Structure 1
Amino acid sequence: MTAPLLVVDNLQKRFGGVVAGKDVSFTLAAGEMLAIIGPNGAGKSTTFNMVGGQLVPDAGTVALAGEDITGKPPRAIWRKGVGRTFQIAQTFVSMSVAENVQMALISHHGQTRSVVAMARALHREAALAILAGVGMADMADRPVNELAYGDVKRVELAIALASQPKLLLMDEPTAGMAPRERSALMQLTHDIARERSIGVLFTEHDMDSVFAHADRILVLVRGEIIAAGTPEEVRSNQRVKQVYLGETGVQAALKARRQAAGVA
């Protein structure tokens, strides 16, 4: 049996008297997409940030490919093979699409101290190859500030992929996007994860995106996991229906998953 890519064990976090994480434990396999959902204040961002290094847990461990990365700073975790996208896309808006990816490649190769006028020639072919993988090669020379927001999110995904991550953390990846753009981005992410055996951990409020594309779902309430399983298992969980999704939300999300699978 293949060992999990990511193992999160009994993470805990308090902010004063507020419990933001309580005994949070889960695993993630290479090539798998795992969603963390829950109402506002459930602890999703806290859990996400403890894995990514933005927050140091009070207790518990995070292991990536068998290596303990608990409490390491974000850059050190990035160096271990963890990419990240953000709720509000983080790009260099005055640079071209290709230059954004080239900057990520330059950083990945440890060349930032030697960046001078020649930087525009560094790793261009590699950047174009990555952009082709996210459907953005034809816009390589356009400034990012001229792009539609859905295309900006694809550029951000390309930037995250430039470091050849084992694990990809995606914070509200479809925020601010139109429904069709959301579906396209999540399907692209799903395909890349499978093709490259990248584990994807994401938080998301859009239940259509979650139920259509996640392999498994964790439901957090008040910092504690109340349910975990496949979309179908979470859909049928009575406690989840009561405290978060509601019958109407579950039915709509299940319909979206069936449609994505081509089932009537």
Structure 2
Amino acid sequence: MSDLKVIAETMISCGYGKECITSYKSIRKSIVDEGLHLLGIEKFKISRFNRMDWGVVEIMIKNWINAAKIGVTTLFRGEKLLCDHVFSASSTIRESCFYEIANEAGLNLFKLPEIVANKEMKTQPDRIFKLMDLYAAISELWPETEQIFHFDSVAAVKTLALSSMKKLKISIYTRLMKFERTIENDSSKGLTPGGGIHKLTRSTMSFISLLSQHGTVLSEILVHHPLKIDTRLLESYFTAPILEDENINNHEISVHLAWLILVLLCKLDMKA
């Protein structure tokens, strides 16, 4: 790093600033682009993505989460530190260089979550959890992303990351509401042999159990969509009261999960 700084300062002081900056941008951009390529981040057409099976999309999401952590915390962070060090004497040059090197790559990195959020999915409830994993990954990386891409010229990267999180939240909540309607509209009429646990009960409680394991993401979503019901209605069906927790987010999770269970109980009563 120190050698690069000395070379850059020497070239600029000798009147070769333009050549120095042009070469630096070109070389470092190719390194960042190659780094993303090695991490598996590729450009692809939305039309091609929409034709992919969900199994392929799941693999892409898993790979993206791993790649994004390395991309943000190592690749982009390291490039920002290097740029700041080499051109410490000029904030204008630092911003210009970082823009040329990282802006396109940053937009390319955060494009996948937005496309996934917009993808039309079938009604399989379990697909919501991959969206939650994707949202959690971006949310975890957000503080460092905001710090790295703080220049106005690269603000589009932050905007895309925030837009992706917003669209994922909408997509997750929409699928949560679809799951509730799936319970209400269940038309299975088969009897459970020996009076055992109904198939709808198994699938619903399994889904609710998995939801409870994504509490952080769920709380960030449900806090903006509070159920407008009296919790005493829910408490009449459960032995434990739903307390007004000091943490409003935890309270919303409790209310929503209890509501889903109540919807299930009502549906089972209708089937009985």
Q: TM-score range by the shorter chain?
A: under 0.3
If the length of structure 2 is used for normalisation, what is the TM-score? 0.23
Q: Which has the higher strand share?
A: 1
If the length of structure 1 is used for normalisation, what is the TM-score? 0.24
Structure having greater relative contact order (Cα 8 Å, sep ≥ 6): 1
